[in-house]
Structure 1
Amino acid sequence: MITIGEFSKICGVSTKTLRYYDEIGLIHPEEINPDSGYRYYSISQLKKMIFINRLKSYHFSLEEIKAILELEEDQSEEKLWSALNRKRKEIQERLNTFESTLKQMSNDISNLEKGISIMSSLDNIEVQLVETETMNILYTRQMMSSDDYALGYGKYFSRLYEKIATEKLTLLGMPITIYHSPEYNPTGNDTEFAIPIEETVKGTRDLPGGLCAKSVLKGPYSELTSVYAKLMEWIEKEGYELVKSPYEVYVTDPNQAAVPEDIVTEVYFPVKKK
């Protein structure tokens, strides 16, 4: 048996953290002296603590780690394999986002060296006034946190495509995201994912057509805020007002784009004349 201090030093985890892990049921001391309250750990628990540290380094939450530790032995390897693959995908998506950000920063630095404003791209965004048709959409709607946005929308659209395939529904268009929240909230935003289909079935509704200010982004999704800003500027300048939730149509599958610059996204702001 070793003391909590010795265990802490070997594993690189503070005694305060070890006490917290005990409270939440992650790893308990092997023994607690009833008189002194001193905590002792067994040598065999070092392996468990190192495993916990490794999962933490992979960005698993404490709740996720606890769930893995509680798995039955005959399921643990398979479940761990699935969890690691899922986490690897999440980290890869974050890396892709960072790579896109670094590329944009490099471009901004290059422009500044040439005496070009980093916001000059706003001047090149075109806005059109278009009339859209009503669409029948298969949809799912939920509150999305900032972390959900960072991880991407793949799983939400995948569920809709699975339903389309399973029920042999007729696909009529590209995936759409509709933003219903009146303002951005990092803790949760009312977001709808939709795919146009022909059949009217459970889980479908009409997306009304009408007059829209439209812009097309050719490039990474990180540039969408610039498109939104340009659309709002145009709407105010031309004497229009936003009447329904804005939405995006993903013309290009990002997984099929060789580089972010190949991604094409249409942005629609439903409007009316003031």
Structure 2
Amino acid sequence: MLTIGEFSKICRVSPKTLRYYEAIGLLQPRLVNPMTGYRFYAADQLETMRLINHLKAYSFTLEEIKLLVVTLSGKPEDLTAALTEKKQELRRQAEQLTQQLQQLDRDIQNLHDGHSLFANGDEIPVQLTEVADSELLSWRLMVQEQAFPQAYKQCFGTLLEKLQAGSLTMSWAPMVLFHDAQFSDEGLDTEFAVPVAETTPETRLFQPGLCLKTVVSGIQADFAAVYARLIHTAQVQGYHSSGPLFEVYLSDPQDHPETLITEVYYPVTKNKMKRGENNGFPENEGFE
């Protein structure tokens, strides 16, 4: 048997950390002296500690490690599945870091050339268009910003299963509606939706009507600038919001993020004009 000091020295983990692992049920001492409270570990627990350290190096959380090591007893098939999923997660993170590095290069070059770090949005084309009514098969929930990719995958996966089970016909591309009037620490009030041709007890009528619209390319596009441009255009041209802003995905961001095409819509209605006023912009034409 090894004392907690000896065990910690071999594993290069502090006694404080070992006591914490004991408290959360991750790694229990093989023996605790009831008189002195001294803790002892068996030699075979060194292998368990090595596995814990190994998984931590791959950024597994302690909760995930406990599931694999304690609940599932470190079975090879479970470890293989977990490591494969972690590999995919790290690959996605690597792609995001690559995109961030590329954006950093562009920002540095823009500053070096004397340009502003942010575009003012004037170059974003905005069109006024009428969007037809449709039935939506949807799932609405609160989503934290960092959890959006997982929620996108889960919600649209479930909706597509319902689509197939009910033999429903998709009438437009998948979309996401943002119902929040302002940011909340609880997340975004988000509705994932698939427009369908049929009306069922599970669908709802969606009537966006008149909208300001723009098209965005790529997953790293500055959506904040896009939203600001739409809202600013509405204010300047005498419109106000009449419904939740929504995005329509013409391609799947999970497949090829770099080629993602997104249509962004801002439902609006015209402010009441005083006699003799004219907005000067007919519908279905672009705003400069």
Task: Give TM-score scaled by structure 2 length.
Answer: 0.85
Aligned to 2:53: 53
Q: CA deviation at 1:254?
A: 2.9
Structure 1 letter corresponding to 2:261: V
Count matched residues: 271
Aligned to 2:162: 163
Partner SS, residue 193 of structure 1: strand
Q: CA deviation at 1:103?
A: 1.6
Correspondences of 1:4-19 after superposition (within 5 Å) = 4-19=4-19
Structure 2 letter corresponding to 1:17: T
Structure (1 or 2) with the greater helix fraction:
1
Counterpart Cα distance in 1 of 2:200 and 2:88: 33
Instruction: Calculate the aligned-residue CA RMSD, in Å.
Output: 2.2
In structure 2, do the counterparts of structure 1 residues 128 and 171 end up closer, same or farther at CA, with 3 Å as the change threshold?
Answer: same
Structure with higher Rg: it is: 2
In structure 2, do the counterparts of structure 1 residues 50 and 201 end up closer, same or farther at CA, with 3 Å as the change threshold?
Answer: farther
In structure 2, do the counterparts of structure 1 residues 221 and 79 end up closer, same or farther at CA, with 3 Å as the change threshold?
Answer: same
Aligned to 1:89: 88
Percent identity at matched positions?
A: 40
Aligned to 2:267: 270
Q: CA deviation at 1:187?
A: 4.0
Counterpart Cα distance in 2 of 1:72 and 1:117: 54
Structure 1 letter corresponding to 2:190: T
Correspondences of 1:9-88 after superposition (within 5 Å) = 9-72=9-72, 76-88=75-87
Aligned to 1:238: 237
Q: CA deviation at 1:246?
A: 0.9
Q: CA deviation at 1:218?
A: 1.7
Q: CA deviation at 1:184?
A: 2.3
In structure 2, do the counterparts of structure 1 residues 128 and 197 end up closer, same or farther at CA, with 3 Å as the change threshold?
Answer: same
In structure 2, do the counterparts of structure 1 residues 9 and 203 end up closer, same or farther at CA, with 3 Å as the change threshold?
Answer: farther
In structure 2, do the counterparts of structure 1 residues 187 and 27 end up closer, same or farther at CA, with 3 Å as the change threshold?
Answer: farther
* Cα-to-partner distance string for 1:36-93 (whole Å, 9 max, x where unaligned): 22211111111111111222222222222222224456x9333333333333333222
Structure 1 gaps, min length 5: none
In structure 2, do the counterparts of structure 1 residues 93 and 230 end up closer, same or farther at CA, with 3 Å as the change threshold?
Answer: same
Task: Give TM-score scaled by structure 1 length.
Answer: 0.89
Structure 2 gaps, min length 5: 272-288
In structure 2, do the counterparts of structure 1 residues 128 and 159 end up closer, same or farther at CA, with 3 Å as the change threshold?
Answer: same
In structure 2, do the counterparts of structure 1 residues 12 and 246 end up closer, same or farther at CA, with 3 Å as the change threshold?
Answer: farther
Moved more, 127-136 or 75-84: 75-84
In structure 2, do the counterparts of structure 1 residues 152 and 108 end up closer, same or farther at CA, with 3 Å as the change threshold?
Answer: farther
Counterpart Cα distance in 1 of 2:88 and 2:184: 25
CA contact (8 A) 2:179 2:190 kept: yes
Aligned to 1:148: 147
CA contact (8 A) 2:246 2:265 kept: yes
Q: CA deviation at 1:186?
A: 4.5
Moved more, 171-180 or 113-122: 113-122
User: 1:216 and 2:215 equivalent?
Assistant: yes
In structure 2, do the counterparts of structure 1 residues 147 and 55 end up closer, same or farther at CA, with 3 Å as the change threshold?
Answer: farther
Partner SS, residue 109 of structure 1: helix
Correspondences of 1:109-120 after superposition (within 5 Å) = 109-120=108-119
Correspondences of 1:103-114 after superposition (within 5 Å) = 103-114=102-113
